[in-house]
Structure 1
Amino acid sequence: MQARHFKETYSELLSLTDSVPERVWTGILIAGCLALPWVVGSYSLSFATLSLVMIVGVLGLNLLTGVCGLISLGHAGFMAVGAYGAGIAAADYGLSILPSMLIGGLIAAASSLLVGIPSLRLKGLYLAITTLAFTVISTHVILNTPEITRGSTGLFLPEPNFFGYELNTPQKYYLFCLATCVLFVLATLNIMRSRVGRAFIAIREQDIAAEMMGINLRRYKLLAFAISAFYTGVSGALFAYHIRYINVDTFGLTLSIEALGMIIVGGLGSIAGAIIGAIFMTLLPEAVRMFFELFATQLNGLFATRALELRGLIYGAIIILILRFQPEGLIKIWRECRRIWGNWPFRY
């Protein structure tokens, strides 16, 4: 059985994977994603696009919380900053989606220093409260600068275009989001196997020991905040273009909690876990809605009066059950399936 630890050449060390089956299945997955717009309808494609948008942001949060061990509840705030930065660049200055998206990400990364610098000596719940305060502050700033952000009125975004090429259909915008998501996944994989990624893991495991080994805690913690905020800002920009209208109510505290739930349910510190968790949590409300519609005729009276409450109850119960019986997240199930498949028929 192949252990895949021994490397013979430098090219094998530089390669993301030396497994032929992994390359084949990755190619099949990408081909399936490319074919999706012509297989499903606009409604389902909208959820697929939203999943890709959330994956980008959750990858950033996973680098900060799952890999570096810095708990953050500021995801909604960074996402709002990125969305408004991109929206203002597009609506007021007529920039296309790519520069607007980068501007939103860079503004979010710069604003992360407002959280990162005062929080260098904070850990755990103290750091979580500080990042939560950033979400409140960003909402307050957006509401009280109507000459820039339109305040409580909200901001309408123009139709996205890629340097003159109009992304005026759900299929085109989905493919753009897919390309962006793939680029960010590749970037994350390379960060994880670099000195920066190893430093993040060392800080998470034992920051005092990491500092004694020569890792600059101040620099790497600020870098973790900046990278995470950039990812989240880009995700916010993509989300703004997806819904085409944003206001402060779009980026509430619930969004931060959901994002944190995605990496916990998927598997803390795992790139694949973050992707699985983002897809699962994004599609879960729709799955619950379909479940209700399936049994609406039998329990019509109950669902008619308590549909929203029951949906929220089932939504929370599923998350609790996953955390109770799979504390390592959904990625554990995926790894077990791979192990059984790889060892078949000698599964034990």
Structure 2
Amino acid sequence: MRTGHFQETTGQLIALTDNRTVIGWTAALLIMLVLAPLLVGAYTLTLMITVLIAVVGAVGLNLLTGTTGLISLGQAGFLAVGAYGNGVLMADFGWPFWLSLPAGGILAALVSLLVGVPSLRLKGLYLAITTLAFSFIIAHVILYAEPITGGPNGVFVNGASLFGYNMQRGAPLYYLALVVCVLVVLMVLNLQRSRIGRAWLAIRDHDIAAKAMGIDLTRYKLLAFVISSFIVGLAGGLISLQIRFINIDVFALILSIEALAIIILGGLGSVAGAILGAVFLTLLPEGIRLFFNLILEPGSSFYSTYVYEIRGVAYGAVIVAFLRFKPDGLIGLWRDQKKFWSNWPLAY
């Protein structure tokens, strides 16, 4: 019976986990995800692809906001840069997707320096407003750079194939999103337990004390911006592959708000929390749709007519409820339940 978290060796200290139960459940989850295309229909598979892309974006934002403490409302802009980078390289230059997708992420990382460098002395609300302004700037640049981006006409993203498989639909796209998601999660988990991750945590908790300890704030803040934007750019590239047509309307401000809501609901600073938040908030509209299908008469158009209003009210209600009753988010709720059942029946 596991009674504590005492580590006796260096290997145990730096390992992602030394709990065999966690390793077993993680392996089981990965096996289920690999077998999912064989077990579910096309509609459910599409939902799962959307969830995986949301997880990638949420983990990237959580690295910047949750781990480093730099609040960003510019995620829609970085998603747009990654999506347009991937789409333009594929459509106009004929790049294969396995090159254009990481190139879109790299482009988003380079663009992040434009907002990261001027924002080094900003934090809190001032940084959030700066990143929001950056998102608006990116939208206008894309809109008026018509020779490159297509302007208001957008870009059609087609032709992504590998070994004869169309990588923009069904199981191939799902496995692509799954591979990217797993690699991103592993990368961030390893970064968080490295010297870089500890520096980010120190900056989040108290940047003045971190500077007094010898941590280069400029270097580590820029590194957080670059890596976070690269990951979000990958998510944008996956979005462009999934929807096949991108224009600036796809990357509205609501995406930045939803991204921030995901990591707040999941639990700031936790990769597992970001994953839970992405799954929960992405599937929330589907849960609402199923609920209204149960309570409304067949053929009723009420939900389809007011879908955006209902979704907005649901998002707001869920965020307010979690902030009021469970500020630690879903990961805090999970930890409480795990602690309760670990101590049961003496937990009362």
TM-score interval for Structure 1 and Structure 2 normalised by the shorter chain: over 0.9
Asked if 2 retains the 8 angstrom alpha-carbon contact of 1:96 and 1:164, the reply is no
Partners of 2:305 and 2:59 in 1: how far apart?
Answer: 38
Cα distance in structure 2, aligned partners of 1:224 and 1:74: 14
CA–CA separation in structure 2 for the residues paired with 1:301 and 1:109: 43
Moved over 6 A (4+): none
Residue 62 of structure 2 corresponds to which residue in structure 1?
62
Separation in structure 2 between the aligned mates of residue 97 and residue 203 of structure 1, nearest angstrom: 36
CA distance in 2, matches of 1:166, 1:300: 37
Unaligned runs of 5+ residues in structure 2 are: none
Cα distance in 2 for partners of 1:168, 1:61 equals 25
Q: Give the equivalent residue in structure 2 for 1:297.
A: 297
Q: 1:267–1:332: 8 Å Cα contact kept in structure 2?
A: yes
**Between 103-112 and 298-307, the greater mean CA deviation after superposition:** 298-307
Do 1:86 and 1:237's aligned partners in 2 also have CA atoms closer than 8 Å?
yes
Q: CA separation in 1, counterparts of 2:15 and 2:269?
A: 21
**Partners in 1 of 2:310 and 2:9 — Cα distance?**
57
Counterparts of 2:171 and 2:222, CA distance in 1: 37
Decide whether aligned partners of structure 1 residues 305 and 257 sit closer, same or farther in structure 2, where only a CA change above 3 A counts: closer
1:225 maps to a residue whose letter is F
TM-superposed deviation, 1:240: 0.7
Give the partner amino acid of 1:337: Q
CA RMSD of aligned residues (A): 1.9
Shift of 1:306: 4.6
Spell out, residue by residue over 1:298-317, the C-alpha distance to the aligned partner (whole angstroms, 9 max, x if none). Answer: 99586576554334323322
The Cα offsets for residues 187-209 of structure 1, whole Å up to 9 and x where unpaired, read as 01000000111000000110000
Range that drifts further, 304-313 or 5-14: 304-313
CA distance 1:315–1:7, change in 2 (3 Å)? closer
Which has the larger displacement, 110-119 or 306-315?
A: 306-315
**Letter matched to residue 231 of structure 2:** Y
| AA of the residue aligned to 1:292 | F
Say whether the 8 Å CA contact 2:80–2:236 is kept in structure 1.
yes
Q: Which residue is equivalent to 2:193?
A: 193
Which letter does structure 2 place at the counterpart of 1:120? L
- What corresponds to 1:105 in structure 2? 105
What is the match of residue 7 of structure 1?
7
Read off the aligned partner of 1:15 and give its amino acid letter. Answer: A
- 8 Å CA contact retained: 1:61, 1:75: yes
Whole-Å separation in 1 of the counterparts to 2:20 and 2:74: 40
Contact 1:159 1:241 in 2 (8 A): no
Distance 2:306 2:184 in 1: 40
Corresponding residue number in structure 2 for 1:127: 127
Give the AA of the match of 1:264: I
Instruction: Give, in angstroms, the shift of residue 154 of structure 1.
Output: 0.7
How many Å separate the matches in 2 of 1:203 and 1:152? 40
- Equivalent residue for 1:211? 211
**Residues 1:251 and 2:251 aligned together:** yes
Distance 1:298 1:95 in 2: 47
**Distance apart, 1:294 and its partner CA:** 1.4
Paired residue type of 1:156: F
Instruction: Note the alpha carbon deviations across 1:125-179, whole angstroms, 9 max, x for none.
Output: 1111110111111111111111111110011001322376542541111011111
Q: Which runs of 5+ in 1 are unaligned?
A: none
Superposed, 1:170-189 pairs within 5 Å as: 170-189=170-189
Distance 1:57 1:301, change over 3 A: closer
Deviates further, 290-299 or 122-131: 290-299
Q: Deviations over 1:237-293 (max 9, x none)?
A: 011101111000000110000000000011011110000001111111111111112
Counterpart contact for 2:59–2:274, Cα < 8 Å: yes
Report the CA distance between 1:105 and its aligned residue.
Answer: 0.5
2: CA distance between counterparts of 1:3 and 1:142? Answer: 55
Q: TM-score, normalised by structure 1?
A: 0.95
Could you say if the C-alpha distance between residues 84 and 299 of structure 1 is closer, same or farther in structure 2, counting changes exceeding 3 Å? closer
Out of 324-333 and 199-208, give the one that drifted further. 324-333
Q: Structure 1 residues 13, 165: closer, same or farther in 2, change over 3 A?
A: farther
- State the match for 1:92 in structure 2: 92
Q: Decide whether aligned partners of structure 1 residues 118 and 169 sit closer, same or farther in structure 2, where only a CA change above 3 A counts.
A: closer
Q: How far, CA to CA, are the matches of 1:103 and 1:93 in structure 2?
A: 13
Separation in 1, partners of 2:213, 2:158: 50
CA distance in 1, matches of 2:229, 2:307: 36
| Cα displacement (A) at 1:326 | 0.9
Within 5 Å, give how 1:19-30 maps onto structure 2: 19-30=19-30
The code of the aligned residue for 1:126 comes to Y
How far 1:318 moved relative to its partner?
2.4
Match of 2:340 in 1: 340
Distance 2:305 2:237 in 1: 37
TM-score of the superposition, structure 2-length normalised?
Answer: 0.95
AA of the residue aligned to 1:231: I
Length, aligned pairs only: 348
Contact 2:90 2:158 in 1 (8 A): yes
How far the C-alpha of 1:346 sits from its partner, in A, is 4.2
